[in-house]
Amino acid sequence: MVKILLLGLSGDTGCQVATVGLHEVLLGILKANELVYAPTLMDTKEIPDKIDVAIIEGGVRTEHEVETTKKIRERSSVLIALGSCACFGGVPGLANLKEGDELLDMIYSEQKGTVASDMPTVDKLLPKQQAIGDYVKVDYRIPGCPPETGDIAGILTTLLSGGTPELSKTDVCELCPRERIGEYSKKLKRIYEEVADPERCLLEQGFLCMGPATMGGCGAPCPKAGMPCDGCRGPTAGNSDQGLTMLDALTSLTKEANENFSLSEYAGTIYRYTYPTSQLAKVLNGGRKK
């Protein structure tokens, strides 16, 4: 019986709950294998000495989480990063655009309704949010916010039956039904600024849709529903920096729209899920922390 661990760092549980969404597939997995540690789903206290497959969600933000991640890696044969926080640092990684004290001041003293003297003491906080792969070897990544249950099921069942799992090699545009006619807007717009044509590609209309820079396989539900893809599945296969791929795609927009673009304004859009593992972070912060 394969021994499985399921753990969330940084208090994260959403991607583990997505795992519960596997329904019958999960029951089949649990029938043939053993869940040995999963604090969100069962009462377990100690990380076991021997784990076959460890699945970790959440980014790394405290020294305790670094120790836990390293301990699990040492005791596991296979380690899977579940969700975009574990894979790339995720949305909380945008906090890395601020320095530690500056960030705490912004949240706890400068917001309306906060009192500077109520600043909490955060024990052993790391200077930056990091992805799991910045500290230990990751064997497989299942990105998404949350990950698609089909991806979780596919990777787990393939792995548990002795195969080599693979994720989509396409981008989100591949399954997007919106029409591309090769004509581009002169203006870069936010989705609330103008009513989008429901049939045409959002990027061509000037809305910053991350489809060309984002791993496919989700079926493009966001552009289908009228919202630009915000890139939750991280970079496409073979590209390590989602923001740079998007900058490349943006060069197809008109000169006027590109003049509208500023990295400081759009860094949170093109790196919403991947800033800690980006080249930009490497340049600004002097590299990833080991």
Residue among 4, 82, 233, 241 that touches ligand SF4 (CB under 6 A): 233
Q: Give the integer Cα–Cα distance in Å for 162 and 176.
A: 33
Peptide bond into 146 cis (omega under 30): yes
Cβ atoms 29, 22 nearer than 8 A = yes
Give least dist CB 245 to ligand SF4, A. Answer: 12
Q: Give the integer Cα–Cα distance in Å for 166 and 145.
A: 18
Q: Which is nearer to ligand SF4, 160 or 211 (CB)?
A: 211
Rg over CA atoms, the chain: 20
Site string for ligand SF4, 24-53 (x = CB under 6 A): ------------------------------
Q: Which helix (H) or strand (E) holds 51?
A: strand 51-57
Interaction of residue 3 with ligand SF4, rule CB under 6 A: no
Q: Which helix (H) or strand (E) holds 8?
A: strand 3-8
- Residue number of the CB atom closest to ligand SF4: 211
Give least dist CB 88 to ligand SF4, A. Answer: 13
Q: Which is nearer to ligand SF4, 54 or 202 (CB)?
A: 202
Q: Which is nearer to ligand SF4, 3 or 234 (CB)?
A: 234
Alpha helices in 40-97 (DSSP H): 63-75, 84-88
Cβ atoms 198, 226 nearer than 8 A = yes
Q: Which is nearer to ligand SF4, 51 or 232 (CB)?
A: 232
Residue among 7, 87, 136, 220 that touches ligand SF4 (CB under 6 A): 220
Give least dist CB 278 to ligand SF4, A. Answer: 17
- Residue 191 burial (CB count, 10 A): 15
Interaction of residue 257 with ligand SF4, rule CB under 6 A: no
* Sequence-distant (≥ 6) Cβ neighbours of residue 87 within 8 angstroms: 81, 131, 132, 133, 138, 141, 142, 143, 234
Number of residues lying near ligand SF4 (CB under 6 A): 21
Site string for ligand SF4, 197-216 (x = CB under 6 A): ----xxx-----x-xx-x--
Hey, which residues between 170 and 189 contact ligand SF4 (CB under 6 A)?
172-173, 176, 178, 180
Task: Tell whether the torsion through CA atoms of 253, 255, 258 and 260 is positive or negative.
Answer: negative
Q: Which residues bind ligand SF4 (CB under 6 A)?
A: 172-173, 176, 178, 180, 201-203, 209, 211-212, 214, 218, 220-223, 229-230, 232-233
